[in-house]
Amino acid sequence: MNFRHRKKRNLEISITPMIDVVFLLLIFFMVTTTFNKNTALQITLPESGSKELVPRKLLVLSIDSTSQYYLNEQPLVDNKLSTLTRSLASVFKDKEQALVINADALAPYQAVVNALDIAGRVGFVQITFATQQAAEK
């Protein structure tokens, strides 16, 4: 008589394909869903009696080809980043104030990137770059 124990196979269910399908469905629904921004309050804003806009004073930060910084056409004492940080912090008033970076075409990229980084750290939110139109041929 043969009384050997037969090894029972352990049955396993692989859930990896099911997880893949669930993630694909999740991604599909996230991509195809539209979100509506509804406000709870209906607010009617007051109208202004004057049609004139209040002019904002723009700050102009210029950078020449030798990495020298100018704030409103006044040269800074030196071109150290700490000097630029102190100068921008001293003229910064609020987040509505705009800063225009006017960089020479031959100015090193690192000088422009440093100026942009420092302006962001000081608190400027509205930062633009001044350009000129290309001459038509």
Q: Where are the domains of the chain?
A: 59-129
H helices within 1-137, ranges in order? 16-32, 81-91, 109-122
Determine if the pTM surpasses 0.85: no
Domain 59-129 CATH class label = alpha beta
| CA pair distance 67, 85, nearest whole angstrom | 15
List the strands of the sheet with 74-75, edge to edge. Answer: 74-75, 69-71, 59-63, 98-103, 126-129
pLDDT, tens digit, for every residue of 46-74? Answer: 565 656 555 567 888 988 888 889 888 88
**pLDDT at 102 (0 to 100):** 84
Mean pLDDT of 97-121: 88
**pLDDT at 16 (0 to 100):** 93
pLDDT, tens digit, for every residue of 20-51? Answer: 999 999 999 999 987 766 655 455 555 656 56
The dihedral of CA 69, 112, 120, 129: what is its sign? positive
